[in-house]
Structure 1
Amino acid sequence: MIRATVLEAAHPQIGAALVENSTFVTHPWRRLRNTFVSVQRMFGPDDDVRQREAARLNRLHARLNGTDARDRPYSGMDADARAWVVATLFESVVTMCRLSGQPLEQRAMEELYAEFRAFHAAMGDATGLLPEEVHDFWPYFDRVVEEELENTEAARVILYKLFDHLPAPPVLDGIPTLWAAGRAVAGPVIGAITVASLPETFRRRAGLPEVPGAQTLMQSAYLAAGLARFLPEGWLPTENLADLLDPSPDSDSPAVRTVAALRSRMTRAGALLRLMTPVDLEPAEQPHTDPYTSRPRPQADPHTGPRRDAEEFFRQVLDQTGDGHLDWPDLAAMARELSTRLDLDEPEETRLYNAFADWWRELQSALDTDGDGRVSAEEYAAAVPSLAGPALIRTAEVLFDATDKDGNQRIDAAEYRALFRTAFHRETTAGHTTYSRSAFIKDFLSFMSGRARTTPYDQVLVDP
């Protein structure tokens, strides 16, 4: 998937959309899990599920449009770009099988290609954009690589920045020091392997450096990955891989249970190591001061618990795309993630996007002091605003209505479980029976205005 994503990002249309709108740098594991789930739905046996997912993806892509750094327009509905996404997935699967010592026979390759063409057709795109036969696919693929792909900013970020700053996946977030040490070694290796696996024509045109020994390393890595076929049968389904990225509290996967137990032990070991490590207590007042405003940091609230300071809230919650500024793509990413997790259909999805768009207009009007069309961390921290305006209240109301399936203006235990355990993968509060509209809105506003440090919404908008 990493290799296919690089080839996708090298397409000018896709690369521009990724740079402007995607959260793959700040929330890569979340993005990967969503991709896993979407692919599973699109290639599953249930035609109704496939059509519903195709409609959801089309709504998502229709909202992605703008211009790139060279003033070239891009659109998430560009037919050639969408065909190229399918092409990269198919070609990367074939390449993976070949490099891992399991090359596909011609008949299997033809069947696989037919399935990818069916996936493309299910999205509603013109079927003629992808060649009908697999033997005609390879000239098409080579032509796009040679004539259309570019060394885009998105491709460079994936190859040379993403792995350097890759956050720990949720199952390993309790051992950040160990993860950082491993990432420092593994990051450059993964980047070199990915570059070596790309088509030679693209590597040459993009000016990607040749690392000595990278080809041998790449072959060894793929052969090692091929050994996955010897793992126990229950470890291989896609849903289990998705669970490893975002574990469900009640998962029955043996792999998830094993990793969860290992994570618990490693977290305890990490906590013990931190206790044994000397801590520099000087200067005493520094932890209580906001670096932007020099004002005291917010302290714990007796009702909502520890509070995030302005810088932390801006970085973890508001700046979803990780570019250091708050603008519409950040809030659109929030709406996209919430609607994906809650599996919203129309018109609830559009109501949610409209509510976030209204909230963005409120924030822009109140905080964009230099008129550049976006809000910087300094502008946000200097104002220290109360973000619970009318538009944000409407956003909470949309979420409440989407959860209140029976329309009785209260979220009962089953609906609460569906929201926080199924959608957000968080355990519910013990003994919970009902959740009123006002209580739901109060909790959501408490999170989105930065008052509470830890809430069920962290799993959706904060975790990577």
Structure 2
Amino acid sequence: MTVNEDTPPLFGTGSQFREFLDDPRWALAMIRATVLEAAHPQVGAALIENSTFVAHPWRRLRNTLRSLRRMFGDDDEARHREAARLNRLHARLSGTDPQGRPYDAMDPAVRAWVVATLFESTVTMCRLGGQPLEQEVMERLYTEFRGYLALMQSDGGQLPATVPEFWVYYDRVVAEELENTEAMRIILYRLFDHLPAPPVLGGLPTLWAAGRALTGPVVGAITVASLPEPFRRRAGLPEMPGAQTVMQGAYLAVGLARFLPDGWIRADAVADLLDLTPDSDDPRARTLAALHRRMQRAGALIRLLTPLPTVPEPTSPQTTPRGAEEFFREVLDQTGDGYLDWPDLAAMARELATRLDLDEPEETRLYQAHAEWWRELQQALDTDGDGRVSAQEYADAVPTLAGPALIRVAEVLFDVADKDGDQRIDAGEYRALFRTGFHRDTHRTDGAYTRSAFVKDFLSFMSGRLRSTPYDPVIAQA
């Protein structure tokens, strides 16, 4: 496609992709793209070993949307900073899968496939929604995605130069490289069935369980039905009778939301709403708290009318103690595989660095502090020498958790959160980390958070196993 002075910019206002980012159908397209990514053996292995998508899917969704908005936003400096951040993140993801095959998130062919799934799923979204893209629009969108890839690696050469060549490439990868990976199966058959409630619905387990039981299987069936038929056949993916009709109906129905007034369905606004909690300082929190009270009463009615197992509604989450196993599952086991190892602590460091929008060298300092903590934990808790810590090993030796390396993590976290270097975390710096304002239980001096108070609270959360209003949203919530 020839670019001239009348051609809209590749990024920012006027780009083709910006029109799709807030399209509600793109939620379905993102799930589909993620499944196709996970079906690639290298991506699937990286997800299983390093990703928090099982234990913390809403956090992963929020960070993905924020990254895409930065990459396709109007701020060119923010775009290049985000590209550099993504490169640093992916450079830390490498290893070997259970079959002994190496994986590397910086492999140019792998990164090209990830971008290819986003483009192809966007095109498929429009086709299934009854509005197939015109050829010129499709070419423009493809140019933007190649530009997106070129921001992270010197050129977009791993993706073909033209749309016709792309479809040949895409069909080849689907036919020759994709597999029925464990990561793909988890997304399709475990994630939706066990999807944790987003923070906005925390404290409403009955209503969430009821809604998930109805919608989870449907979303899974829709996703399977939308995958390329040759891959479905080769991977042996079952297709429910009538799934194609349900899938097309879902894309058409969800697509109607795009006719709502501008701003109602901004993807980042929806992600922020899902991240909202009743005790937040957000002005919407009071309304949310009142809504929660009404929904809890509805949940009590559901328990009377349905055979769903009784789930206790939590009370006073700020002061409720956690058991060792619960703390292990909610806080330490970030990847959700039942063990504590380096990818779990790396995921913690990654989330903290993302929240604080760290550059080098602060990001590296935070990772190094977590790496030292992992070595300390491994030496103290890995009694069977298998290179990881089980929940039982953790529970048996939990007092050793708060060692010098954990104190170092707290000190480094304080340093990188203290942007102006005045040895205090003020209200703005506090909000950047916790995404909420000061709370009554926070130690303050002259309206600031001192180093000693910060380290004390962090260690109390990580070793005392008490729920903490500030730290739960950062590390524990899904």
Alignment TM-score, normalising by the size of structure 1 = 0.88
Instruction: Within 5 Å, give how 1:330-341 maps onto structure 2.
Output: 330-341=344-355
Aligned counterparts of 2:222 and 2:325: Cα–Cα separation in 1: 36
**2:109 matches 1:80:** yes
Give the alignment partner of residue 387 of structure 2, picking from 373, 378, 399. Answer: 373
**2:291 is aligned with 1:265:** yes
Query: 2:372 aligns to what?
Result: 358
Answer yes or no: is 1:422 the counterpart of 2:432.
yes
Q: Superposition pairs for residues 13-412 of structure 1, below 5 Å? A: 13-247=42-276, 257=284, 261=287, 264-270=290-296, 274=300, 305-412=319-426
**1:7 and 2:17 are equivalent in the alignment:** no
SS in 1 for 2:399: coil
2:97 maps to a residue whose letter is D
Aligned-partner Cα distance in 1 for 2:239–2:199: 33
**Which residue identity is paired with 1:201?**
P
Corresponding residue SS for 1:128: coil
2:449 aligned residue = 435
Distance in 2 of aligned mates of 1:4 and 1:277: 36
**Contact 2:50/2:343, CA 8 A, preserved across alignment:** yes
Q: How far does the alpha carbon of each residue in 1:401-449 deviate from its partner, in whole angstroms, 9 at most, with x for none? A: 112222222223xxx3333x33322231259502211111101111111
Task: Report sequence identity in percent.
Answer: 70
Distance 1:310 1:451 in 2: 7
Q: Which amino acid aligns with 1:348?
A: E
- Residue type matched to 1:265 in 2? L
The alpha-carbon deviation at position 115 of structure 1 amounts to: 0.7
Question: Once the two structures are superposed, what CA deviation does each residue of 1:172-208 show, in whole Å capped at 9, x if it has no partner?
Answer: 1231101101111211111110000000111011111
Q: Who is 1:293 aligned against?
A: none
Q: Deviations over 1:316-371 (max 9, x none)?
A: 10111111111111111100101011111111111111111110111111111111
**SS class of match (2:425):** strand
Cα pair distance change 1:87/1:263, threshold 3 Å: farther
SS in 2 for 1:217: helix
Change (3 A) 1:356 1:199: same
Q: State how far apart, in whole Å, the 2-side matches of 1:358 and 1:86 are.
A: 34
Measured against aligned partners, the alpha-carbon deviations of 1:297-316 in whole angstroms (never above 9, x if no partner) come to xxx9xxx9443211111111
User: Closer, same or farther in 2 for the Cα pair 1:92/1:219, shift >3 Å?
Assistant: same
Tell me the alpha carbon deviations over residues 190-248 of structure 1, each in whole angstroms, 9 at most, x when there is no partner.
11100000001110111111211111110100111111211121113232122123238
* TM-fit CA distance, 1:97: 0.9
Q: CA RMSD in A?
A: 2.3
Preserved CA contact (<8 Å) 1:417 1:428: no
2:142 and 2:298 mapped to 1: Cα distance?
52
**Whole-angstrom distance in 1 between the partners of 2:320 and 2:190:** 32
Native 8 Å contact 2:419 2:429 kept in 1: no
Moved more, 403-412 or 376-385: 403-412
**Residue identity matched to 1:343:** D
* Matched position secondary structure for 2:95: strand
Structure 1 position 276, deviation (Å): 11
CA distance in 2, matches of 1:221, 1:156: 22
2:477 equivalent in structure 1? 463
Q: Quickly say closer, same or farther: Cα 1:87–1:33, change in 2 above 3 A.
A: same
Counterpart residue type for residue 426 of structure 1: T
- Which 5+ residue runs of structure 1 have no aligned equivalent? 279-286, 288-299
Q: Is the contact made by 1:79 and 1:125 (CA closer than 8 Å) also made in structure 2?
A: no
1:58–1:123 contact (8 Å) kept in structure 2: yes
Amino acid corresponding to residue 79 of structure 1 in structure 2: P
Residue 447 of structure 1 pairs with residue 432 of structure 2: no
For 2:291 and 2:425, the matched residues in 1 are separated by 36
- The 1-side partners of 2:288 and 2:367 are apart by 39
- Kindly state the Cα deviation for residue 46 of structure 1 after the two structures are TM-superposed: 1.4
**DSSP-derived class of the 1:66 partner:** strand
Deviations, residues 247-285 of structure 1 (Å, cap 9, x unaligned) = 385768xxxx5x98366324444158559989xxxxxxx
Name the residue aligned to 2:9: none
Q: CA deviation at 1:384?
A: 2.4
What CA deviation, in whole Å up to 9, does each residue of 1:120-162 have, x standing for no partner? 0001244221111112111111111001100100000000100
Q: Any conservation in 2 of the 1:246–1:425 contact (CA below 8 Å)?
A: no
Post-superposition offset of 1:393:
1.0
Unaligned runs of 5+ in 2: 1-29, 305-311
Residue matched to 1:281:
none
Contact 2:414 2:454 (C-alpha < 8 Å) held by counterparts? yes
Aligned 8 A contact 2:46 2:105 in 1: yes
Of 231-240 and 373-382, more deviation after overlay is shown by 231-240
For residues 281 and 399 of structure 2, the distance between their equivalents in structure 1, rounded to whole angstroms, comes to 39
Give the superposition deviation at 1:43.
0.9
Mapped to 2, the partners of 1:165 and 1:272 lie a distance apart of: 22
Are residues 85 and 272 of structure 1, via their aligned partners in 2, closer, same or farther at CA, if it must alter by over 3 Å? closer
Q: Quick check: 2:112–2:149 contact (8 Å CA) kept in 1?
A: yes
